[in-house]
A and B are shown apart, each in its own frame.
Chain A
Amino acid sequence: MAQTVEANVKLNLEGLLCPIPVVKVSQAVKTMNIGDVLEATATDPGVMADIPAWTKSTGNELVSMEKDGKLIRFLIKRTK
């Protein structure tokens, strides 16, 4: 899938388990400007549910999320 959105910040969350991925994402997003996009990779299957839940409760935008084998890649846009 071609990515149209360019990431400003990249984060490697591979091998990390709950609750650390959410913590790292929240810390990274905090340092970004509104409108910036974070690209992250993770391997914890729990991330598939937790990241959408986190964006929902914080009001940020989950641009995309895809799983390729064990690797999960997602983009979050800071909107708040």
Chain B
Amino acid sequence: MAKDDGVTIIVMSGDMDKVMAAFNIAIGAAAAGKETNMFFTFWGIKAIQKGNLTGKGFYGRMMGLLNRGGINTIGPSRFNFGGIGRWMFKQMMKQHKITPLEELRQTAIDLGVKFWPCEMSMQVMEIDVDNLIDEVEKSCGVATMLEMAFHSKVTLFI
């Protein structure tokens, strides 16, 4: 159906606000009937992690400890104040009846948005496929992402 008019979103950021924008755009694109792919790299991988501790070596385990928790533990890019900002944002979102991040991610999945984890980031940060949510596609690299981008009309880097 869709020919060269898909949407590709590269999610580099692991900040709550930016991840929310990324899922929002993906959902809008999928709802408009566009083939939508999200490529998660570096900090963005946190948005598709189950949230358990990761890492094998000393550095990897340290990283896993600092980066522990899934999508519900990510804070906003500004005004996080060691987690208080995250809590405040969640309260405000609830007040204004904004869909929580995890539900937003599920909506994207339900609409057929595909999630691609970056293999290189996973190796560097020692994050295993088992640490990611079950809905992800196979891990890939820049060539796969570009192949999607070449067939997209809209490509975003968030």
- Asked if B31 is at the interface (CB within 8 A of a chain A CB), the reply is yes
CB neighbours of A58 from chain B (8 A): 32-33
Stretch at the interface among A4-12, A19-27, A34-42, A70-78: A19-27
**Contact across chains for A17 and B31 when beta carbons are under 8 A apart:** no
The chain A residue sitting closest to B28, CB to CB, is: A19
- Asked if A32 is at the interface (CB within 8 A of a chain B CB), the reply is no
A16-B97, A18-B24 in contact; A23/B32 too (CB < 8 A)? Answer: no
Count B-side interface residues using an 8 Å CB cutoff: 12
Instruction: Give the interface size class of chain A.
Output: 10 to 19
**Contact across chains for B98 and A17 when beta carbons are under 8 A apart:** yes
- Asked if B107 is at the interface (CB within 8 A of a chain A CB), the reply is yes
**How far apart sit A15 and B97, CA to CA, in the bound complex (Å)?**
8
**Contact across chains for A22 and B28 when beta carbons are under 8 A apart:** yes
CB neighbours of B27 from chain A (8 A): 19, 22-23
The chain A residue sitting closest to B31, CB to CB, is: A26
**Contact across chains for A26 and B98 when beta carbons are under 8 A apart:** no
- Asked if B91 is at the interface (CB within 8 A of a chain A CB), the reply is no
Minimal beta-carbon separation of A11 from chain B (angstroms): 14
The chain B residue sitting closest to A80, CB to CB, is: B33
Q: Identify the B interface with A (CB < 8 A).
A: 24, 27-28, 31-33, 96-99, 107, 111
Q: Identify the A interface with B (CB < 8 A).
A: 15-20, 22-23, 25-27, 54, 57-58
Question: Could you list some 30 contacts between A and B, CB below 8 A?
Answer: A15-B97, A16-B97, A17-B97, A17-B98, A17-B99, A18-B24, A19-B24, A19-B27, A19-B28, A19-B99, A19-B107, A20-B99, A20-B107, A22-B27, A22-B28, A22-B31, A22-B32, A23-B27, A23-B31, A25-B31, A26-B31, A26-B32, A26-B33, A26-B111, A27-B31, A54-B31, A54-B32, A57-B33, A58-B32, A58-B33
